[in-house]
Chain A
Amino acid sequence: KNEVEQSPQNLTAQEGEFITINCSYSVGISALHWLQQHPGGGIVSLFMLSSGKKKHGRLIATINIQEKHSSLHITASHPRDSAVYICAAQNYGGSQGNLIFGKGTKLSVKP
């Protein structure tokens, strides 16, 4: 079983829809990261959170530490949001903070 699981693997939405991408992890973590990989391949960091909720523009990330679950929400989705969204767990202990990545969720937003 992967230590970081994302769902769904693929997601198609119509412009304007509210989108949720889920991330579950099985390891103890110090933080959870959300990243965006553009169709051209570049990767940018969206959020790092260790509790509660963070918001940036139309993107909202939440985390429930007890349930070991995080969600990324996109409000009023737009075709330019089409990308692969990746969550990554930053864990404690021996590997001292190295990231464990999920496989990504490929989002396609249709006009």
Chain B
Amino acid sequence: NAGVTQTPKFQVLKTGQSMTLQCAQDMNHEYMSWYRQDPGMGLRLIHYSVGAGITDQGEVPNGYNVSRSTTEDFPLRLLSAAPSQTSVYFCASSYTRVSPPLHFGNGTRLTVT
């Protein structure tokens, strides 16, 4: 049982490059979400999805796109990376938005130079 799988674990980008952070879960969870974690701040919600074909913005969505074509996958796309997007990114899922527990991926440490 893999849980929530996030790739890559580490990534370095140059300003202006684009990339996709992958997130997949094998628990048939409806709710999936992306967070960023910055020093001295709590986890902040970027985008979330309550089911295949449905996505919505969180607290800090600018510069990021998501899609949810299947229940299992919820990729996060950085369209044109900026140094302000240097952060640790976590994907998480749960059965529904209000059903515990929230399962987290192991995180992606992204550096934008």
A-to-B contact residues, CB < 8 Å: 2, 4, 30-31, 33, 35, 40-45, 48, 86, 88, 90, 96-104
What's the least CB distance linking B98 to chain A, in Å?
4
Contacts A41-B88, A41-B107, A42-B106 given; 10 further ones with Cβ under 8 A? A30-B98, A31-B100, A35-B102, A41-B106, A42-B107, A88-B43, A101-B43, A102-B42, A103-B40, A103-B42
Q: Which of B33, B58, B104, B109 contacts A44 (CB 8 A)?
A: B104
**Is A45 in contact with B97, judged by CB distance below 8 angstroms?**
no
A-B contact count (CB 8 A): 54
Chain B contacts of A101 at CB under 8 A?
35, 42-44
Docked-complex contact B98 and A86, CB < 8 angstroms: no
For this complex, 5 residue pairs linking A to B, each with C-beta atoms less than 8 Å apart, are A4-B42, A42-B106, A43-B104, A99-B45, A99-B102
Q: How large is the interface on B (under 10, 10 to 19, 20 to 34, 35 or more residues)?
A: 20 to 34
CB pair A90 B42 closer than 8 Å: no
- Chain A min CB distance to B108 (Å): 10
Shortest distance in angstroms between A90's beta carbon and chain B's nearest beta carbon?
7
Known: A41-B107, A42-B107, A96-B97. A86 touches B42 (CB 8 A): yes
Whether a CB of chain A sits under 8 angstroms from the CB of B48 is yes
Distance between B19 CB and nearest chain A CB, rounded to angstroms: 20
Chain A residues near B101 (CB-CB < 8 A): 45, 48
Q: Which of B88, B92, B97 is the one whose CB lies under 8 Å from A97?
A: B97
Query: Are B102 and A33 closer than 8 Å at their CB atoms?
Result: yes
Residues on the A chain within 8 Å of B35, using CB: 101
Determine if A31 and B102 form an interchain contact, defined as CB atoms under 8 angstroms apart.
no
